[in-house]
Amino acid sequence: MINYQITIQLISCLLLALCISLYVLPIVVNAVNKLGLFDKPNARSSASRPIPTLGGIAIFFSFVFVTTIGLYSFQLSEWPYILIALLLIFFVGLKDDIVNLSPLKKIVAQLIAAGILIFLADIRFTNLHGLLGITEIGMFPSVLITGFTIVVIINAFNLMDGIDGLAAGLSMLISMVFGSWFLVSGHFDYALICFSLFGAVAGFFYLNVYGKEFKIFMGDTGSLLLGAIMSILVIRFNEFNINQTQSFAISSAPVISFGILAYPLIDTLRVMAIRIINHRSPFSADRNHLHHRLLALGFSHSSATYTIIASNAIFILLVFIMHTYGVLRLTAYIVIAGSSLFMIPAFIIKKKRLIKKDEPFQQLLIPPYYEGRERNTRAVVRLRRRQANLKPSALGSFFQKINLW
């Protein structure tokens, strides 16, 4: 049963975080303008002009300030350790926005943050809910699975932050889904975390999508932070659903979590697979994300963002409706449906030939002809011209036919 007094408190936290975020963001924009910290357009970016970055500062400040005050009445024992882990992720993202850290350094920092959450905050998986026939797990597999999950989700949110409002909009959707479940199931402390996050991100979303004078990007400061918070919510959602006798208990919680984060997870795995197959680092930049596909089809930033958010919302609704179907059956549905949806834009782009053959940052098909390609556009053109008359291998033709991702 919903406690209406708690609900009012949660809404108050949401509104307070929203107001603080809207107040702090223009201050950040002015400071960033003076320091010259812009996200400058390049061959793979979706921005058409230099935009101030570091919007994650306002998200972090408003979220932490409101959540810390709001949790005072709940006495959430792990919050200090969560805050330490988020501070580490925040400063890593801040430094990366200013001086560009290597992927290895960011991964190491994420593993340290994961260690803090696992060993100090005791935020970890202890049960797989029958996934692959496994229920309770020991400490060692718990640490491995939890650490892997945290790092994957953090990087998923970091990699999908490519167009206006996408990372922020999906974060608002996902935080409200988790927050609503935490509220109705009686986990008010984590519901407050979700509502505060929604308010903090909503202020950024408005200026990022609709702002003119104070338009700003969140940068890695914000995207890494959002990923870290989402990983915490996913783990707690799974752990709270171990007891299936409680009110509003959800079966197949691990698969439901995957469905809630369907877009960031599926898109990240798909893009990394394309990069690895093309003999590139999985963390290298390109334009192979679904939002780049939609932009190639003529979508604006806002229409692409709302299309992806709406698709993810439909996914969430379906997985909650089908949560009693069983882990394996529901997993198969998500993988098949998700893969099919991702193939539609690529299929249209291929038919309309909307991506040039010499485009070095996008690959609809797996190039089977050569290795060690130059990333320079002119070099790519020369190589393709020299190989225009080569007959592709049978294996290459096979990959070209099936790889519509």
pLDDT of residue 293: 82
For the full predicted model, state whether its pTM sits above 0.95: no
What is the model's pLDDT at position 191? 96
Q: pLDDT confidence of 14, banded at 50, 70, 90?
A: very high
Which pLDDT score, from 0 to 100, does residue 369 have? 32
Q: What local confidence, expressed as pLDDT, does residue 334 receive? A: 79
| Least confident range of 125-129, 384-388, 394-398 | 394-398
Which pLDDT belongs to residue 358?
46
- CB-CB contact of 213 with 33 (8 Å): no
**Residue type for position 270:** R
109 pLDDT exceeds 80? Answer: yes
Q: Which domain holds residue 290?
A: 252-405
- Band of pLDDT at residue 389, cut at 50, 70 and 90: low
Q: Is 321 in the same domain as 235?
A: no
Tell me, letter by letter, the H, E, C secondary structure of the chain: CCCHHHHHHHHHHHHHHHHHHHHHHHHHHHHHHHHCCEECCCCCCCCCCCEECCCHHHHHHHHHHHHHHHHHHCCCCCHHHHHHHHHHHHHHHHHHHHHCCCHHHHHHHHHHHHHHHHHHCCCCCCEEEEECCEEECCHHHHHHHHHHHHHHHHHHHHHHCCCCCHHHHHHHHHHHHHHHHHHHCCCHHHHHHHHHHHHHHHHHHHHHHHCCCCCCCCHHHHHHHHHHHHHHHHHHHHHHCCCCCCCCCCCCHHHHHHHHCHHHHHHHHHHHHHHHHCCCCCCCCCCCCHHHHHHHCCCCHHHHHHHHHHHHHHHHHHHHHCCCCCHHHHHHHHHHHHHHHHHHHHHHHHHHCCCCCCCCCCCCCCCCCCCCCCCCHHHHHHHHHHCCCCCCCHHHHHHHHHCCC
Per-residue pLDDT reduced to its tens digit, 209-221: 998 888 899 989 9
Question: How confident is the model over 214-239, as a mean pLDDT?
Answer: 94
Convert 321-335 to b/e letters by CB count within 10 Å (16 or more is b).
ebbebebeebbebbe
Instruction: Decide which of 246, 276, 306 is a domain's last residue.
Output: 246
Q: What is the mean pLDDT of residues 226-240?
A: 96
pLDDT exceeds cutoff 90 at 360: no
**Mean pLDDT calculated for residue range 18-47:** 79
pLDDT bin (cut points 50, 70, 90) of residue 400 is: very low
Q: Which of 205, 222, 246 is the last residue of a domain?
A: 246
Question: Do residues 259 and 297 both lie within one domain?
Answer: yes
Domain boundary among 211, 227, 246: 246
Q: What is the pLDDT of residues 292-323, one digit of tens each?
A: 788 888 888 889 999 999 989 998 998 888 87
Q: For the residues 106-125, what does the mean pLDDT come to?
A: 96
Say if residue 234 is in the same domain as residue 265. no
Tokens describing residue 128: 């797989």
Q: What is the pLDDT of residue 2?
A: 61
Rounded Cα distance between 179 and 181, Å, is 5
260 with 183, same domain: the answer is no
pLDDT averaged over the chain? 83
Band of pLDDT at residue 4, cut at 50, 70 and 90:
confident
Q: What is the pLDDT of residues 69-83, one digit of tens each?
A: 999 888 899 999 999
Retrieve residue 115's tokens: 């260690």
pLDDT band of 371, cuts 50, 70, 90? very low
More confident position, 245 or 207: 207
Q: Is 60 exceeded by the pLDDT of residue 378?
A: no
Residue 364 has pLDDT above 80, yes or no: no
Same domain as 130, residue 100: yes
pLDDT > 70: percent of the chain? 82
Same domain, 209 and 125: yes
Average pLDDT over residues 85-113: 94
pLDDT at 388 over 80: no
Query: Does 50 lie in the same domain as 188?
Result: yes
In this predicted model, which residue has the larger pLDDT, 54 or 37?
A: 54
Residues 40 and 141 in one domain: yes
What is the reported pLDDT for 355? 58
Query: Would the pLDDT of 255 be above 50?
Result: yes
Q: Are residues 129 and 149 in the same domain?
A: yes
Reported as a single tens digit per residue, the pLDDT across 183-201 is: 999 999 999 999 999 999 9
Mean pLDDT: which of 14-23, 160-169, 251-260 is highest? 14-23
Given this model, what pLDDT does residue 45 score? 53
Domain shared by 12 and 138, yes or no: yes
> What are the residues facing 127 on neighbouring strands?
136
Least reliable range by pLDDT among 136-140, 326-330, 367-371: 367-371
pLDDT tens sequence across 324-354: 777 777 878 877 877 777 777 767 776 666 6
- Over range 104-123, report the average pLDDT: 96
92/233 same-domain check = yes
Tell whether 303 and 168 lie within a shared domain.
no
Instruction: Say how far apart CA 384 and CA 386 lie, in whole Å.
Output: 5
Count structural domains, the chain: 2
